Amino acid sequence: MHKYTSPPSTVITSFQLPQVRFLCNPCKAKFRTCPTQPERRILVGGKPRKTGGEKGTVRLQTQPKPQPGQPLLYSGTFDCFRKTLVGEGVRGLYRGMAAPIIGVTPMFAVCFFGFGLGKRLQQRKPDDVLTYPQLFAAGMLSGVFTTAIMAPGERIKCLLQIQAATGETKYSGSLDCAKQLYREAGIRGVYKGTVLTLMRDVPASGMYFMTYEWLKNILTPEGKSVSDLSVPRILFAGGLAGIFNWAVAIPPDVLKSRFQTAPPGKYPNGFRDVLRELIREEGVGSLYKGFTAVMIRAFPANAACFLGFEVAMKFLNWIAPGL
């Protein structure tokens, strides 16, 4: 099996900063500090895996099965986009995003921190190389770390996004939604859907980081270092990693959205009831509702994310090489 040799933070050739490098004996690559340092990653992390366009996904995933002879409320991604834009304007496309946006920087800083920590925990010695399954395991740890921040934001976002479709205005905003949830059901009401968030983010994050590192190795020309990757190749690796991430994440994301927006008591056995209902009424294909909407945003959002991460790591290495 091809083994991954922990590379330095990728050097973005289009952004030349003063170079102060040394040779790392373990991986024979030029870099300032070991990229597995989780402390450094927590300062520059922040990947927008769930950003604008999310509203269409949630609405498609949670729309009820129509009565016999009645059409679906939304026939697809573009129909949902059109109806939302016409009925609610541009602001409607971003309804409910305040909570995720507030938490996105600390959440994904913690995510990158978890990935770095996961790699470090698997290395008995600093010069140990990691296999792709080990990288997958490190990525899974990052998904565990983010859930505590992610779950409440997801719950609030989903509730705010579907209330406009029903015509009911129960919540005036993210803060009001959080207050009402806590008042009605306590902290458990705010964190409803946490298990499903874990089921989505743990394997998806493993796939996300493993795919990115695998693609960087594949895209590195023979005889070159990963640190020499060009901006287009980093964008391609990051974008494709986002697609692989969501290919794994969509089914549990559908279950999570249904469960988090359901009335209290509808699914007493949790995600098992949601899964049974979906399969029975709409078939296996219902687990991939919103696939088109997710994939449209997955590539550009994650391509930009990893480019930003690599540039930030390079900049941090320059201004604080000993951190």
- Dump pLDDT digits (tens) for 282-305: 889 889 888 888 888 889 989 988
Q: Is the pLDDT of residue 179 over 60?
A: yes
Mean pLDDT of 234-247: 94
Q: Where are the domains of the chain?
A: 3-315
Q: How many CB atoms lie within 10 A of CB 96?
A: 24
Q: Rounded to an integer, what distance in angstroms lies between the CA atom of residue 9 and that of residue 48?
A: 19
Number of residues that make up the chain: 323
- Dump pLDDT digits (tens) for 140-167: 999 998 888 888 988 988 888 787 666 6
- Dump pLDDT digits (tens) for 200-220: 999 999 999 999 999 999 999
Q: How confident is the model at residue 25 (pLDDT cuts 50, 70, 90)?
A: very low
Mean pLDDT of 296-318: 85
How is 203-267 classified by DSSP, letter by letter?
HHHHHHHHHHHHHHHHHSPTT--GGG--HHHHHHHHHHHHHHHHHHHHHHHHHHHHHHHSPTTS-
Q: Are 321 and 24 in contact (CB under 8 A)?
A: no
Lowest mean pLDDT among 19-33, 130-144, 149-163: 19-33
**What is the reported pLDDT for 128?**
84
What's at 295, amino acid-wise?
A: M
Q: How confident is the model at residue 26 (pLDDT cuts 50, 70, 90)?
A: very low
**What is the reported pLDDT for 289?**
82
The chain-wide mean pLDDT, for the chain, equals: 77
**What is the reported pLDDT for 38?**
58
Q: How many CB atoms lie within 10 A of CB 213?
A: 24
**What is the reported pLDDT for 234?**
93
**What is the reported pLDDT for 313?**
80
- Greater model confidence, 50 or 41: 41
Q: Are 272 and 212 in contact (CB under 8 A)?
A: no
Q: How confident is the model at residue 228 (pLDDT cuts 50, 70, 90)?
A: confident
**What is the reported pLDDT for 95?**
61
Mean pLDDT of 166-180: 85
**What is the reported pLDDT for 135?**
95
Lowest mean pLDDT among 180-189, 241-250, 299-308: 299-308
- Dump pLDDT digits (tens) for 83-100: 667 776 766 666 656 655
Q: How confident is the model at residue 222 (pLDDT cuts 50, 70, 90)?
A: confident
Q: How confident is the model at residue 14 (pLDDT cuts 50, 70, 90)?
A: very low
**What is the reported pLDDT for 242?**
94
Q: Is the pLDDT of residue 28 over 50?
A: no
- Greater model confidence, 16 or 251: 251
Q: How confident is the model at residue 322 (pLDDT cuts 50, 70, 90)?
A: low
* % of the chain residues with pLDDT over 90: 33
Q: Are 185 and 210 in contact (CB under 8 A)?
A: no
Mean pLDDT of 39-52: 48
Q: Is the pLDDT of residue 31 over 80?
A: no
Q: Rounded to an integer, what distance in angstroms lies between the CA atom of residue 212 and that of residue 234?
A: 9
Domain at 3-315, CATH from 3.40.630.10, 1.50.40.10, 1.10.357.10, 2.170.150.20: 1.50.40.10
The phi and psi torsions of 135 (rounded to 5 degrees) equal -65, -35
